Amino acid sequence: MSIDLDSPLSPLPAAPKTPYVRIIPFGGVGEFGMNCMVIEYDGDFVVVDCGVVFPENDILGMDSLIPDVDWILENAERCLGVVLTHGHEDHIGSMPYLLRELDAPVYGTPLTIAMLERKLEEHGLLADVDLYPVRGGERTSFGKFEVEFVRVNHSIPDAAAIAIHTPMGTVVHTGDFRFDHTPVRDERTDIKRLAEIGESGVLLLLSDSTNVERPGSSTSEASVRDALTRVIAEARRRVWITMFSSNIHRLQGILESAHACGRKVLVIGRSLRNNLMTALDMGYIVLPSPDILVEMHAFGDIQPSKIVVVCTGSQGEPRSALSAIARRGHRFVHVDEGDVVVFSARVIPGNDRSVGNLQDQMYRMGAEVITSREAPVHTTGHAHQEEQKLMISLLRPRFFVPIHGDYRMLVKHARIAADLGVPHTQVIDTGDVLQVTPDAARVVGRVRTGKVFVDGRTLASVNDEVLKERRRIARSGVLVAMVGVDMEDGSIVTRPEFIQVGAVESALEEEVLEECVEFVLARLDKLPRRDRLNVERLSDQLQQATRQYFRRRFDRKPWVIPIISEY
């Protein structure tokens, strides 16, 4: 079948005579992050989530990546609404960019909507969007869709699975989930309702595959709270805990642990403080004592054995609170010898080096560092294998499609479902159009998808070549190479000059650049006169000679910008 990806409308075959459901992932399938899914019935559709993914540290100038949602916008008249599973950035981070052009109501649980409101306000869009908070167990209607929010455990309160009831059958999108039987607060996954939905019949299950390679069941958040209590109780000086800013359950547990050990709590980091204030206002965090929170200016007045500092920076982010403290660049707080620094978060792939460097700096300051290797100070928000099996067994779907994970994880999750007796499993890619009828599920085409990078508030298409060049710059640095040439006789009239960023360590800069001048000048002097009079040719040679020197000396090739001054 020939598919025109440039068509402004869906490049799909005519609707079959029998009823059908179609799903189209725009992200979050075969990858982590950027979750976005279209679920269509009888020509109309709803969008489930629209998130971002944060780029690896070696991609310069890029704040985040969002899905290319042009297909959704080109078919906006068929979009009945947007439903959100929870408030994490990889599920709601792209919403402001989608809602700039999509006029559709948005439904989510109260905390999710509150977190989205803050994002929309920052983008100047809050007054233009219709937002509707829906609690777990409640339903709302979109044309022929009836959408039900079912409470699930995750690492943020108010997470929900979405059951989309259609005349042809029910589609369940689990969102991110786990089964925690002893949560910090009483927000257990609604097993009873999931079983009831399964008993009524589930046509299609779309299920989170993040931890499919991890056997058994995940550790309870209550166990993490108990481990942190032990760490705080045994510490003789300050305890620093860095974590994901959205982990409201973890923050509640830290407050309880600190209170049990007779300590105050200082919270540092804009995103962490904003989420704390939102959770307090909405009742998702309850303070164990009215005076447990202290302000920054009180840091020096509190005995080191009487305070816990909670801060951002668990991924080694350069602009985070903990990174500033590690550089001794924070005006009010500092880590001292004998302090304990707890990394209460997993390291996201790609952040290993920055996190390791930050932990090294903590050791240089004389602190003790505790990670999940030393104590159970973190747990996942995603189901392990046994929990995934439980979800499948509760819902007993006719068709199963794994989502949220690398491709190998999707394949492994599909095999688990098949072993549990699910009649039909299907692994799909981002952009695939999966058509489900009562008797079959098959990919009937593809739509245009891709990634758009966000640089500040600017959006631009991104492709492999862009990413390749940005990674090269991040690894090897940038050099501006300048030389002057007499355009009458082709002689080099100014010695090469270099301005470098990240290509040479400051201690070696003078020595290296002087060597590079001599190397490049010798190469240019050997060029035939006709090549020196050709600005394009001379630019190429200046660039190549500079890169050759760095390749020989350091085994790396910096990004070289040649500038020829004509005399």
Rounded to whole angstroms, the Cα distance separating 460 from 452 reads: 6
Report the run of H or E that residue 266 belongs to, with start and end: strand 264-268
Rounded to whole angstroms, the Cα distance separating 550 from 557 reads: 6
Catalytic residues: 208, 382
Instruction: Compute φ and ψ for 70, nearest 5 degrees.
Output: -55, -40
Cα Rg of the chain (Å, integer) = 28
Rounded to whole angstroms, the Cα distance separating 125 from 152 reads: 29
What is the residue-wise DSSP string for 478-493?
EEEEEEEE-TTT--EE
User: What is the length of the chain?
Assistant: 567
Helix (H), strand (E) counts: the chain: 16, 27
For residues 240-266, one letter each, b for 16 or more C-beta atoms within 10 angstroms of the residue's C-beta and e for the rest, the string is bbbbbbbbbbbbbbbbbbbbebebbbb
Query: Please, which residues bridge with residue 41 across strands?
Result: 21, 44
The answer to whether 116 and 274 have CB atoms below 8 angstroms apart is no
Rounded to whole angstroms, the Cα distance separating 12 from 447 reads: 8
SS3 state of residue 333 = coil
CA angle (235 as vertex; 231, 239 as ends), nearest 5: 80
| Residue type (1 letter), 322 | L
- The three state secondary structure string of 205-228 is EEEECCCCCCCCCCCCHHHHHHHH
SS3 state of residue 325 = helix
The answer to whether 245 and 155 have CB atoms below 8 angstroms apart is no
Rounded to whole angstroms, the Cα distance separating 394 from 399 reads: 14
Distance of CA 231 to the CA centre of its chain: 29
